[in-house]
A and B are shown apart, each in its own frame.
Chain A
C-alpha cells in the first residue's frame, strides 16, 4: 500500500508492447456468471521497466472495481488488461522542457511514470512537480520522493497539504490558487510544457491559472479523473 487508500499493483506482462509515460491501461474484471466491469488506470511505471507494468489504484468508497483491486487482489492473481491507451497526455525526455507537473491526489500517478522515466534516462530536463494532497499520510509515493527525488538533478518537488499539516510544517497548506501557481511555476517566457492531472476542479483551477500566467494553452495538457461525486 502506498497510503491507507492507495495500492500499487505490479503486473508481469510478458508480451507487453511497451508504453509511453502518461498512458493508461484498461482493466477488465469478469465474474463467474460472465458479468464484466471495465475501468482505466494510469500506468505508474516507466517504459524502462517493461515487461513489468505497475498501476496505482485509489480505493473509492462507492467504487465497484477499486475496492476489489485494493483489498482483494493478491500475488498470483491474473488481470485482463488492454493497452497502452492514450497518445495525448504523454511526456518523454526527448520532448524537453522546462517541465511543470501539477498533480492532485491520485492524479500523481501518470506524472510519476513521467518522473520515473526521466530518472531512468538520467534526464536533466528542469522539472518542477507541484503535488497537492489532503494530508501527509495521503501523499502517494512519499518514500520515493523523500529518498530518490531529493537527489535528482534539476528536479524540485513542492507539496501542498490542503486539510491537515503536521506540526512544524513550513510548506504550503492550502488548495492551489493563482498566487501559489505564480510562486511555483516556471516563467511563461521559458515556454514550459505543463501536465496537470487530478480531480476536475483542481485541473480547472490549475489550467486556468497557468493560462492566466501566460502559458501557451496548447502546451498545457490536462487529464481529469478521480471521484466525481455530484456535479
Chain B
C-alpha cells in the first residue's frame, strides 16, 4: 500500500478475489440500480455514472487572469522555450472536437463539444527529447503526463465549450483537455507545459491519486 506523509492513503476494505462471480456477501441487499441503455453503458468506464449537468470541482478559488496578461509557454527540457500570447494562440490552427469526459469522482459526460488548439501543433514548434510533461496553471495547480498521452491527437488547449468561451469555473480562459484520462489531468487555467526527462507527480498525484489515471482501467488512486 502506498503511503504519503506517513498516512495510509487508502485500502480496499473488501475485494473480489480473482475475477468472475460476485461473492454472496458483497451483494447489496435490495439494490437494483438504474440501468442505462446498452450503447450508453458501453461508453461509461467502470464505476462511472452518466451526468447531464457539468459539475465544477476545484482545489481552491477560481483564478482570473486578464487576457492581455495571459500567455502560454512550453519550457523545461527544450532546445528553445516558446511562448504565445492569447492572440497568438487564437491565431493558430484549431479544431472542434466532441469527446466523452470522465471525472474521478465518478461522473461521466458524453458528447461534450470543445474548440481548441491541438497540443501537437504547439509541440511541433519546439525541440525536445523529454518523455514527460507537467502542465502548470494559475493558482499553482500542476498535473503530470507521459508525453505520448498529449501527442498524436489526444490533447488540446481548449478555450471554448459548447460553442461559448470557456467559463472561468470550468477552467477559462483555457484549459488542457485530455479526454482519454480522468479529468483531473485536463488542467484548468493552464499556462504552459514543462517538458521533463523524469516524471514528477503533480498536485493530485502527490495526494494519493493515480499517476496515469486511465478510466478504462479504473486507475483512480495510487496503487490501482
A residues engaging B (CB < 8 A)?
A: 13, 15-18, 20, 28-32, 34-40, 64, 68, 72, 77-89, 200, 203-204, 207-208, 210-211, 217-218, 220-222, 224-225, 228-231
Question: A36 to B218, alpha carbons, bound, how many Å?
Answer: 13
Q: Chain B, 84-115, contact with A by CB distance < 8 Å: what is the 0/1 string?
A: 00000000000000000000011100000000
Question: A210 to B221, alpha carbons, bound, how many Å?
Answer: 31
Query: In B34-91, which residues have CB < 8 Å from any A CB?
Result: 34-35, 46-47, 49, 51-63
Closest-CB distance, A202 to chain B (whole angstroms) = 11
Contact B29 A217 (CB under 8 A): no
Closest-CB distance, A195 to chain B (whole angstroms) = 11
Contact B62 A29 (CB under 8 A): no
Contact partner, A34, options B22, B55, B107, Cβ 8 Å: B22
Closest-CB distance, B125 to chain A (whole angstroms) = 32
Closest-CB distance, B47 to chain A (whole angstroms) = 4
Question: A85 to B12, alpha carbons, bound, how many Å?
Answer: 11
Question: Whose C-beta in chain A lies nearest to the C-beta of B9?
Answer: A87
Closest-CB distance, B31 to chain A (whole angstroms) = 5
Contact B13 A83 (CB under 8 A): yes
Contact B61 A222 (CB under 8 A): yes
Q: Among the interface residues B33, B52, B204, which one has the most CB atoms of the partner chain A within 10 A?
A: B33
Contact A20 B56 (CB under 8 A): no
Closest-CB distance, B180 to chain A (whole angstroms) = 20
For B33, what are the chain A residues with a Cβ–Cβ distance below 8 Å?
A: 29, 31, 35-37, 64
Contact A208 B54 (CB under 8 A): no
Contact partner, B5, options A17, A31, A87, A231, Cβ 8 Å: A87
Given A31-B33, A83-B13, 6 extra CB contacts under 8 A: A30-B28, A82-B12, A207-B60, A218-B60, A225-B57, A230-B52
For B198, what are the chain A residues with a Cβ–Cβ distance below 8 Å?
A: none
Whether B208 sits at the interface, judged by CB under 8 Å, is: yes
For B49, what are the chain A residues with a Cβ–Cβ distance below 8 Å?
A: 37, 64
Whether B217 sits at the interface, judged by CB under 8 Å, is: no
Whether B7 sits at the interface, judged by CB under 8 Å, is: yes
B interface residue count range (under 10 / 10 to 19 / 20 to 34 / 35 or more) = 35 or more
For A81, what are the chain B residues with a Cβ–Cβ distance below 8 Å?
A: 13-14
Contact B28 A217 (CB under 8 A): no
Contact A32 B207 (CB under 8 A): no
Q: Among the interface residues B7, B59, B60, B61, which one has the most CB atoms of the partner chain A within 10 A?
A: B61
For A40, what are the chain B residues with a Cβ–Cβ distance below 8 Å?
A: 105-106
Question: A35 to B9, alpha carbons, bound, how many Å?
Answer: 27
Contact A221 B60 (CB under 8 A): yes
Question: A185 to B166, alpha carbons, bound, how many Å?
Answer: 31
Knowing A80-B26, A81-B13, A87-B7, say if A204 contacts B34 (CB, 8 Å): no
Contact B207 A86 (CB under 8 A): yes
Closest-CB distance, A60 to chain B (whole angstroms) = 12
Interface pairs (10), CB distance under 8 Å: A29-B33, A31-B28, A37-B31, A72-B30, A78-B28, A80-B26, A84-B10, A200-B55, A221-B60, A229-B53
Closest-CB distance, A220 to chain B (whole angstroms) = 5
For B63, what are the chain A residues with a Cβ–Cβ distance below 8 Å?
A: 217
Contact A230 B59 (CB under 8 A): no
For A231, what are the chain B residues with a Cβ–Cβ distance below 8 Å?
A: 53-54
For B14, what are the chain A residues with a Cβ–Cβ distance below 8 Å?
A: 80-82
Closest-CB distance, A106 to chain B (whole angstroms) = 14
Question: A47 to B208, alpha carbons, bound, how many Å?
Answer: 19
For B22, what are the chain A residues with a Cβ–Cβ distance below 8 Å?
A: 30, 34
Whether B152 sits at the interface, judged by CB under 8 Å, is: no
Whether B153 sits at the interface, judged by CB under 8 Å, is: no
For A211, what are the chain B residues with a Cβ–Cβ distance below 8 Å?
A: 61
Question: Whose C-beta in chain B lies nearest to the C-beta of A209?
Answer: B61
For A210, what are the chain B residues with a Cβ–Cβ distance below 8 Å?
A: 61
Q: Chain B, 193-210, contact with A by CB distance < 8 Å: what is the 0/1 string?
A: 000000000001001100
Contact B208 A224 (CB under 8 A): no
For B59, what are the chain A residues with a Cβ–Cβ distance below 8 Å?
A: 88-89, 221-222
